[in-house]
Structure 1
Amino acid sequence: MGLLDTALADGRCWSRVGDCFEVTRKPPGLRVADYKAVPFVPMEAIPQGGQYEPRYDQKPGADITSGTYFERGDLLIAKITPSFENGKQAWVKRLPAPFGYATTEVIPLRPTAAGYDRRLLFFYLLHPEIRSYVSERMEGSTGRQRVPEQVLLDLPYPKLPPDDQQAIADTLERVTLQVDLEEHSARTAAELKRAAMRELFTRGLRGEPQKETEIGPVPESWRVVELGSLCLPTDQVDLISEGDRVIHYIDVSSVSRESLRVETTTEYLLKDAPGRARKRVRSGDVIFATIRPTLLRAARIDEALDNQVCSTAFCVLRTADPEQLGKYVFYAVQRPEFLELLTRIETGASYPAVTDRQVKAQPIPLPPPDEQREIVAILEAIDRKIALHRDKRRVLEDLFKALLHKLMTGEIRVSDLDLSTLEHADESTSSAAEEAV
């Protein structure tokens, strides 16, 4: 049963957002032009998905001729599509001035009285069903639809005592803080990987002197070779003999930008799959996207996708030794320097691209086999760390969605939960709770 169709438990009842919050209005007589600097929040500065604070730009008051007035402590809710649907919203609790201005495409909300926890409304508006309910009531032309203020104010909202509001908001905030921590840890590990790749592919692991090459300094014992010299010929599927075979089709969107893994595929009859020429992939192959904005998105094919089909927007890199040389190639084509080489030769206005031939013609550094194995082992270990943090983040995001639904409806109570395994900043949570009401 959906959230808005649920009969609330524990004697709770439905009210309206407008019974607890109101739209902030500019005070009569305020002359913005009299202020030398006013914090300004453009749409791109508003986070989405659970982070509170936006970025604050500073503008001379005289330069602000339009915008939305708001005050410290307000919630800023994006009202235009697709920003609202994407969950772009902010809580301006650290606004460096009593008031500021934002894009005209937000609605600023503040409590009508003490005791209404801003965080609870902030989290409530992140519920997928709530965003869907409101977006269905947008008005305006296609592509420029907006949420009317009254729709937001009339939105059904659980009526809860202040103590329950704070307890639920504290719980949800603990989870979001942990989500942020896992994302930060994943990004830190990704930065470590980039730094490690710069060192590994230029200095190696043996501490030997370097030599200058066409791709920069590399250890003296290394060679610089064309990528294609390491690759075997690949094959295409035969539509005539295989057209009625069910295949798992790998599109560029199938490869995660974060994990560099094939995370989704689509089943088709081969003859109905997108594109005209279809490339066969084998277990251990490396697929490398050749069209922007997905250039440098790469993945290795595992056994589950052996003998399947990928988009022609991938260059398929197949080696005679996929477990060693193939893994080394997988990391070698992730190097930022490799992308830079390709961006210099890509062509096309709308969708700049490179050809398979151009990809395979690029030079890459090649260490001796034992050093290849060690480099791969180091980078695989970092990738496992990145994947662990991102997997934990996804689990926590699912937990947040489940708790949001069940706590708001009263299906479970905060006292029923044991979140002791969550690492969190107690001081941050309690401080936020004090500011939220």
Structure 2
Amino acid sequence: MRLGDCGKTNLHTYSDKEKWSLIRYLDTGSITEGRIDEIQTLYPGVDKIPSRARRKASVGDILFSTVRPNQKHYGIIEAGTENLLVSTGFTVVTVDTTIADPYFIYYYLTQSSVIESLQAIAEQSTSTYPSIKPSDIEDIELDLPELETQKKIGSTLRMLDRKIALNEEINDNLAA
């Protein structure tokens, strides 16, 4: 199955006509391998809103930077962050949860072989820097097990990631 058959890219775009009083903004450099460094809080009319702050993202959405995939600027939105906008430098993948588990798709998309393949595509791009298009992500083919199996795999990998993050935090505290 193509990834584009179990998820859609860049479904929701922010318009200034929506007049949000508060925007939470994530740029591509503020997330690496699923770890978010900073989400900016911006107030329209007070703060300058970056022109790239246009893609809406919600819980369960997968973010994947379209520039230099090998830099691993990707993640999945886990916490409910109201009024979240991400850079147009991301492809936002919204998974159809009736046929696929977002975490299964996230871990599939972020495995080394897929990133290497996307990087190879990026290096063939005609832009001034290696980049991919949303359609390159949509065209990724994967074998999709039944939904319950996907959920078990996604949940297990998520627990392992959390354990790794906790161990890193403990190690950082020991070194301090």
Q: Normalising TM by the smaller chain, what interval? A: 0.7 to 0.9
Residue 14 (structure 2) aligns with: 237
Q: For 1:273 and 1:230, how far apart are their aligned partners in 2? A: 32
- Does the C-alpha gap of structure 1 residues 246 and 277 become closer, same or farther in structure 2, counting only changes over 3 Å? closer
Q: For 1:358 and 1:277, how far apart are their aligned partners in 2? A: 22
TM-score computed with the length of structure 2 as normaliser? 0.83
Residue 89 (structure 2) aligns with: 313
Q: 1:269 aligns with which of 30, 43, 48?
A: 43
Cα offset, 1:232, TM superposition = 3.7
Q: For 2:114 and 2:72, how far apart are their aligned partners in 1? A: 9
* 1:278 equivalent in alignment to 2:47: no
Cα offset, 1:348, TM superposition = 4.8
Q: For 1:373 and 1:364, how far apart are their aligned partners in 2? A: 16
Residue 321 of structure 1 aligns to a residue whose secondary structure is: coil
Residue 25 (structure 2) aligns with: 249
- Does the C-alpha gap of structure 1 residues 375 and 268 become closer, same or farther in structure 2, counting only changes over 3 Å? same
Q: For 1:281 and 1:344, how far apart are their aligned partners in 2? A: 27
Aligned 8 A contact 1:286 1:316 in 2: yes
Runs (4 or more) in structure 1 with deviation over 4 Å come to none
Q: For 1:246 and 1:348, how far apart are their aligned partners in 2? A: 37
Residue 364 of structure 1 aligns to a residue whose secondary structure is: coil
Residue 168 of structure 2 aligns to a residue whose secondary structure is: helix
- Matched positions, count: 170
- Does the C-alpha gap of structure 1 residues 318 and 306 become closer, same or farther in structure 2, counting only changes over 3 Å? farther
Cα offset, 1:293, TM superposition = 6.1
Q: 1:391 aligns with which of 159, 169, 172?
A: 169
- Does the C-alpha gap of structure 1 residues 270 and 325 become closer, same or farther in structure 2, counting only changes over 3 Å? farther
* 1:369 equivalent in alignment to 2:163: no
Q: For 2:163 and 2:52, how far apart are their aligned partners in 1? A: 39
Aligned 8 A contact 2:8 2:94 in 1: yes
Residue 29 of structure 2 aligns to a residue whose secondary structure is: helix
Residue 156 (structure 2) aligns with: 378
Residue 329 (structure 1) aligns with: 105
**Identity between Structure 1 and Structure 2 (%):** 24
Q: 1:302 aligns with which of 69, 78, 89?
A: 78
Q: How does 1:217-232 map to 2 (within 5 A)?
A: 225-232=1-8
Aligned 8 A contact 1:281 1:316 in 2: yes
TM-score computed with the length of structure 1 as normaliser? 0.36
Higher relative contact order (CA 8 A, sep 6+): 2
Q: For 1:266 and 1:250, how far apart are their aligned partners in 2? A: 6
Aligned 8 A contact 2:52 2:89 in 1: no
CA deviations 1:174-201 (Å, max 9, x no partner) are xxxxxxxxxxxxxxxxxxxxxxxxxxxx
- Does the C-alpha gap of structure 1 residues 241 and 379 become closer, same or farther in structure 2, counting only changes over 3 Å? closer
Residue 163 of structure 2 aligns to a residue whose secondary structure is: helix
Q: For 1:386 and 1:350, how far apart are their aligned partners in 2? A: 36
Cα offset, 1:354, TM superposition = 0.3
Residue 249 of structure 1 aligns to a residue whose secondary structure is: strand
Q: For 2:134 and 2:173, how far apart are their aligned partners in 1? A: 38
